[in-house]
Structures are given as C-alpha cells and as structure tokens.
Amino acid sequence: MTMLRDPSIKYRPFPQVPLPDRQWPSRTITAPPRWLSTDLRDGNQSIIDPMDAVKKNRFFDLLVEIGVKEIEVGFPSAGATEFDFIAGLVRSGRVPDDVTVQVLTQSREDLIRTSFESLEGAKRAIVHLYNAVSPAWRDIVFRMSKDEVRAIAVAGAKLMRDEAAKRPETEWQFQYSPETFSTAELDFSVSVCEAVMEVLQPTPEHPIILNLPATVEAATPNIYADQIEYFCRNLPGRESAVISLHTHNDRGTGVAAAELGLMAGADRVEGCLFGNGERTGNCCLVTMALNLYTQGVDPGLDFSDLDRVIETVEFCNQIPVHQRHPYGGELVYTAFSGSHQDAIKKGFEAHARQNDDLWRVPYLPIDPADLGRSYEAVIRVNSQSGKGGFAWVLEQDQGLKLPKKMQADFSPHVQRVADELGRELNAADIWETFRQAYHVQTHPKHLQLVDYEESRAADGTRIFTGKIAVDGVEQSVSGRGNGLISSVIGTLREAFGVEIEVADYTEHALGTGTDARAAAYLECRDANGRTIWGCGIDEDVATASVRAVLSAANSAVAR
C-alpha cells in the first residue's frame, strides 16, 4: 500500500471572506431568533429507522408544548408515510393557530406539486424549496453551469407561486434555500436568491424566508458569520427577506456558527433538539436556546422539564442523548472531583445566603433547577472526591452538617471505602461508612441509650433521666441543664470505666415543625489524649447530645 507522506495535502484551507469592515464581532445577541425545528425533516431523514406516524405525532406535540412556532414536518414527496402524516396533521385541526408547518421539496416539478397537495386545506404553511449551488454540486452532481443551476431555482419558484395561487384558502409563505450556501461563491448565492425573489415578489409585510445553509460545515464559525453579514449587506431588497440559518456540525461548531450568524444579522435559526440531523447533526436548539437563557435573554422556548423532553426525543429518534451533552446530559451537573465539589458546595451555601436571584455558583453555568433537575445528584462521590463531596451528600441525604474538623476526620474513611469498592459511592454507602466510623445509633456490642426522658424545672432548666446499657447491662443516668453532657460522661466513667473528655461541641437543627430533629457533634479526647468524634442524631438536642456522648464512648471503647 502506498502511504501519503502527509495526508493533509489532500485538503485546502477555507478562503477568507472579503469583509474588512465586518460589524458582527462587536454585536451581542439581545433577542431570541425565530426558531424552526427540523426534527421531523432533517432529523428524521438522518436516523436509521425514520419515525412512523406515532413517533412523528408525539414529537410534533412536544415541539408545540415547548413553544416552537415553526415546525418543518417533513418531505411530502419522500413517500406515503411522510405524505399521509403531513396531510393528516394539517387536516386534523391539531396545528395550533400560532404554529406554522413547513415542508421541504427539491426544486423538481413533480415533487413541488406533491408538496402542495400534502398541505391541501392548511390554514397557513411554509413551502421550502431548495437546490444546491456550490461548485462541487454544480460540477459533480448536476454537471451544470451557474446559469443552469440558477434556472433550477427560478423554475421551482415559478411553480411554487402558481401552485400557491391555486389554493388561496391557505396563507402561504415561501422559503428558498441555496443548499451548500457556505461552500458556494457568495455573489452567486446572492444572484440566485435575487432571481427567486424576482419571481415571488416578496415585500416587507410578506417577506420570503432565505435560508442559508452550512450544509456541510467546512470552516470556522467566524467565516460563516462573515458570509451571513456579506449576504445581508449585498442582497437587494434585504428588508423583504427573513434571513434564516441552517447549520450542520461537521466541525463541531454548529451552534457557534448559528450564534455568530445571528450576530451577523440573521433573524431565524433552524435546528433540531439535541442536535440531531444529517451526519454530525444540525445546530442543537436546546443548547442554543439555553445559551441565550444564561445571558439573560429569554429564548421563548420552555425547557423547564428537560428530562421529559429528552425522554420523548430519545424515544422518537432512538438515539440516546449523550451524558455530556450541554444542558441535558445526565452528567453535566455532576461533580466528582474534590475541588469542583468544594466550590459548588460553597456556591450553593453563598446562594442561599444572598438576597438577590443572581446565579453565581462556581462550575455550574445554569441553575439545574431551572431545567427541572434536582440538586441531589450535583455532587457525587468517588475516589477523586474531597471533603466537600461527602459533606454535601450527607447534608442532602441525612440533613447532617458536619463541622469542618469532623469532615477532615471522616475523609480518610470515605477515601478508604471508595478505593476498596473501586466505584462511585452512593448516599447509602456514605451514610453506612459514617455510621460505622462514629458508632452512630447503636451496635449490639456497644453502648446504648435505652431510655430517656426530659422535663423542665420551675426555672426552665432541663432535667433529664435515662438509662445506658453496655451489652445489655443497664445503668441509670440523670442530669440538669448544661450539665447534661458532663453528667453522662461521669456516669460512663464510673459505671464502665470509659474515659472521654469534651474538647468541642456543636449542634444544629435538622428539620422544622413536627419534623424537627437535631444533630450534635462532640470533639473528644480519649484516655490517651487522642481525638475521637461523637455524633448523635435525634429528635431533640438533648437526646442528640446524649447519643453523641455514647458514640464517642463507643469509639473510645473500640480502640
């Protein structure tokens, strides 16, 4: 086999656009575009098994629910499934008044006629005509000159005009795509579109949609933006055209190209949910819309229950949404690594304290709750995790707020278990590790709080009585007020010879109202001066405190 020394010699750099005074780089997007979903057309034509009517109907309903107002529902001349679905839909009365359906046709006579027939009876519809215009398609696919290719577009436009005139009961809009626009000569694309406009006579009140596809993405997104700005500046009658973008993702920048294209003057964006579409897909409408959302621009599309959207899209396309897909992927709000967890946990705490709604949580570009995601899975623990990780999980799962020093004490326990298991630790694993490390609750072999009662003296001081057991041998304890902890410790020392001394004590509430409980943490020293921790979780502070003493005592006994 002959090997090329440098295979890249097969390729050439994409030429620059002659636009030295380009304006788009200094613009910002301040309003959403008109959105068109082509899930049921470009998306559908790219999947292994195109959708049947059940799937198409379900997808259509989803698009209506999330607020898409222009929906390309198919390619009527592709076959009976497509035709029947489209004809059935427009006649079913299921197209809301504020939604316009669109169909695509090649610029071929029989296909255009079939497309109009499929829309018979529609209140309003867009017929979308296309033919490829760039050199490779002219030379290789059509073997035609520029004039001949322009003539294909003009002939199609004339037929569209005439077919529409036969059906005045429908409010028609015309869309023309110079397919392969981004790899064609710009002046030629302008001239073809101009010729189509001459036939269809659009006005500012009744504009044509000129859709400028990056049919195959072949350059960096700034080049596409230059092409859009150039086209907008050089199209005669620009005010009578809605400029639409239709990007593909062959270089992985389909969304970026559409964003820059909007900055360059476009009005409308075509794409698919989660970037389905030919080859590497189309511009992802979810990503693009939520990118706007995170800049404070309401995209006008509702993704507040994103998991339901994903469920329908996956069912209809039979393609899973990647776990790392922007905004929607299962893992995109999850931090496993220690420093990320630490920052996110601090971010959530700061967010809870601040007075405004401004979202400023490190590592999370959007509030998962805005998309219907809960915070629970944001931080997950494995061997790459740090203190912030398990502290967050314990707080979310058990309501426990571990003091910082106790987090440091618990950390090696979690690390050991994560290394031993070699997998992610779930909340139950962490809680079990915690229970074992601090003898939380009781263990048959250890000390137990058997009985506990609390009352108030006339001056309000707490009075308590109870029993402690070791291996079933019970011992009474009692105390008053702040002497509670020391009196239990005294009882333990006398009855069982357990030596512990309190170094520090913290408590916090775990709930409110009838669910109110408390957690208490003791930092203690055992007889050898080593630090041990006690932790009690209970229905009130006093009980939690006693349990904390017992758990510390259990640790001391265990040593």
Ligand X SMILES: CC(=O)SCCNC(=O)CCNC(=O)[C@H](O)C(C)(C)COP(=O)(O)OP(=O)(O)OC[C@H]1O[C@@H](n2cnc3c(N)ncnc32)[C@H](O)[C@@H]1OP(=O)(O)O
Q: Angle CA(108)–CA(112)–CA(115) in degrees, nearest 5? A: 145
106 binds, among ligand KIV, ligand X, none (CB under 5 to 8 A by kind): ligand X
Query: 515: left (phi > 0), else alpha (psi -120 to 50), else beta?
Result: alpha
Nearest distance, CB of residue 51 and ligand KIV, angstroms: 17
Among ligand KIV, ligand X, none, the one that 281 touches (CB under a kind-dependent 5 to 8 A) is: none
- Considering only the stretches 13-21, 75-83, 370-378, 394-402, report the one whose residues sit in contact with ligand X under the rule CB under 6 A: 75-83
Span 178-217, contacts to ligand X by CB under 6 A: 179, 215
What distance lies between CA 494 and its chain's CA centroid? 60
Query: Given its phi and psi angles, is residue 540 left (phi above 0), alpha (psi -120 to 50 degrees) or beta?
Result: beta
CB contact set of 303 (below 8 Å; sequence gap of 6+): 66, 286, 289, 290, 309, 327, 371
DSSP per residue, 411-458 = HHHHHHHHHHHTS-B-HHHHHHHHHHHHT-S--TTSEEEEEEEEEE-T
Burial 455-477 (b: 16+ CB within 10 A, else e): eeeeeeebebebebbbeeeebeb
Contact string (CB under 6 A) for ligand KIV, positions 116-135, x = contact: --------------x-----
Does the annotation place 42 within a ligand binding site?
A: yes
CB 107 to ligand X: min, Å = 4
Using the rule CB under 6 A, give the single segment among 141-149, 211-219, 303-311, 475-483 that binds ligand KIV. Answer: 211-219
Q: Which of 215, 222, 227, 253 binds ligand KIV (CB under 6 A)?
A: 215
**177 contact, one of ligand X, ligand KIV, none, CB 5-8 Å limit per kind:** ligand KIV
Asked if 268 is part of the footprint of ligand KIV (rule: CB under 6 A), the reply reads no
Should residue 42 be labelled a site residue for ligand KIV when binding is judged by CB under 6 A? yes
For ligand KIV, the closer of residues 60 and 130 by Cβ is: 130
Selection from ligand KIV, ligand X, none that 211 binds (CB < 5 to 8 A by kind) is ligand KIV
Report the partner that residue 492 touches, choosing among ligand X, ligand KIV, none (CB closer than 5 to 8 A by kind): none
The reply, when asked if residue 248 is annotated as ligand binding, is yes
44 in a known ligand binding site: no
Of the pair 42, 70, the CB lying nearest ligand KIV is at 42
Interaction of residue 70 with ligand KIV, rule CB under 6 A: no
Report, in Å, the least distance between residue 216 CB and ligand KIV: 8
Residue 213 is a binding residue for ligand KIV (CB under 6 A): yes
Q: Residue by residue, what is the 3-state secondary structure of 8-44?
A: HHHCCCCCCCCCCCCCHHHCCCCCCCEEEECHHHHHH
* Among residues 45, 337, 407, 415, the one that binds ligand X under rule CB under 6 A: 45
Query: Are the C-beta atoms of 85 and 56 separated by less than 8 Å?
Result: yes
Distance CA 559, CA 548 (A): 17
For residue 45, the partner it binds in ligand KIV, ligand X, none, with Cβ less than 5 to 8 A by kind, is ligand X
Other beta carbons less than 10 A from residue 27's beta carbon: 14
Query: Beta strand pairing status for 100-106 and 124-132?
Result: parallel
DSSP code per residue over 122-157: -SEEEEEEEEE-SHHIIIIII---HHHHHHHHHHHH
- Does the protein bind ligand X through residue 42 (CB under 6 A)? yes
Residue 528 to residues 190, 476, 499, 501, 525, Cα–Cα distance (Å): 87, 27, 9, 11, 7
Residue 131 binds: one of ligand X, ligand KIV, none (C-beta under 5 to 8 A by kind): ligand X
Say how many residues touch ligand X, by CB under 6 A.
18
Using the rule CB under 6 A, which residue among 117, 250, 278, 367 binds ligand X? 278
Give dist(CA 404, CA 386) in Å, integer: 12
246 marked as binding residue: yes
Residue 81 interacts with ligand X (CB under 6 A): yes or no:
no
Number of H helices, E strands in the chain: 16, 14
Tell me if 47 contacts ligand X by CB under 6 A: no
Tell me the β-bridge partners of 524. Answer: 502, 532
Q: Which amino acid is at 30?
A: T
Whichever of 277 and 388 has its CB closer to ligand KIV, that residue is 277
Residue 102 binds ligand KIV (CB under 6 A): no
Could you say which of 27, 58, 108, 508 contacts ligand X (CB under 6 A)? 108
Beta carbons of 375 and 418 less than 8 angstroms apart: no
| Beta carbon of residue 45, minimum distance to ligand X (angstroms, whole number) | 5
Residue nearer to ligand KIV on the CB measure, 180 or 491: 180
The pair of three-digit structure tokens given for residue 57, joined into one six-digit string = 């109907």
Are the C-beta atoms of 208 and 196 separated by less than 8 Å? yes
User: Residue 55 or residue 246: which is nearer to ligand KIV going by CB?
Assistant: 246
- Determine the Cα angle at 104 with ends 246 and 316, to 5°: 80
As a whole number of angstroms, the distance between CA 551 and CA 446 comes to: 9
Structure tokens at 273: 């949910």
Q: Does 179 bind ligand KIV (CB under 6 A)?
A: yes
> How far is Cα 559 from Cα 553, in angstroms, rounded to an integer?
10
Residue 247 interacts with ligand X (CB under 6 A): yes or no: no
Q: Is 246 in the site for ligand KIV (CB under 6 A)?
A: yes
Q: Which of residues 360-399 bind ligand X (CB under 6 A)?
A: none
Nearest approach in angstroms of CB 104 to ligand KIV is 6
CA 126 to chain CA centroid, nearest Å: 31
What string marks each residue from 124 to 163 as x (binds ligand X by CB under 6 A) or -?
A: ------xxx--------xx---------x-----------
Count CB neighbours of 529 within 10 A. 7
Which chain residues interact with ligand KIV by CB under 6 A?
42, 104, 130, 177, 179, 211, 213, 215, 246, 248
Tell me the binding residues for Mg(2+).
Answer: 42, 246, 248, 282
Which chain residues interact with ligand X by CB under 6 A?
42, 45, 75, 77-78, 106-108, 111, 130-132, 141-142, 152, 179, 215, 278
Tell me the binding residues.
Answer: 42, 246, 248, 282
